[in-house]
Chain A
Amino acid sequence: GENVEQHPSTLSVQEGDSAVIKCTYSDSASNYFPWYKQELGKGPQLIIDIRSNVGEKKDQRIAVTLNKTAKHFSLHITETQPEDSAVYFCAASQLRGANFGNEKLTFGTGTRLTIIP
Chain B
Amino acid sequence: DSGVTQTPKHLITATGQRVTLRCSPRSGDLSVYWYQQSLDQGLQFLIQYYNGEERAKGNILERFSAQQFPDLHSELNLSSLELGDSALYFCASTKGPATDTQYFGPGTRLTVL
> Interface on A for B, CB 8 Å cutoff?
32, 34, 36, 41-46, 49, 51, 89, 91, 93, 95-110
Contact = CB atoms under 8 A, between A and B. Distances in A.
A97 B42 CA distance: 27
A86 B112 CA distance: 26
Nearest to A42: B106
Nearest to A103: B56
Nearest to B105: A43
B18 interface: no
B99 A102 contact: yes
B98 to A, nearest CB: 4
Nearest to B56: A101
Given A101-B56, A108-B42, A43 B106 contact: yes
8 contacts: A43-B4, A44-B43, A45-B104, A99-B98, A100-B97, A100-B98, A102-B55, A109-B42
B64 interface: no
Nearest to A1: B58
A26 B105 CA distance: 28
B45 A102 contact: no
Contacts, number: 74
B43 A89 contact: yes
A46 B98 CA distance: 17
A24 B56 CA distance: 24
B102 interface: yes
B69 to A, nearest CB: 20
Contacts of B55: 101-102
Contacts of B98: 95-103
Ranked 7 nearest A-B pairs via Cβ? A43-B104, A104-B45, A107-B43, A102-B98, A109-B42, A101-B55, A101-B56
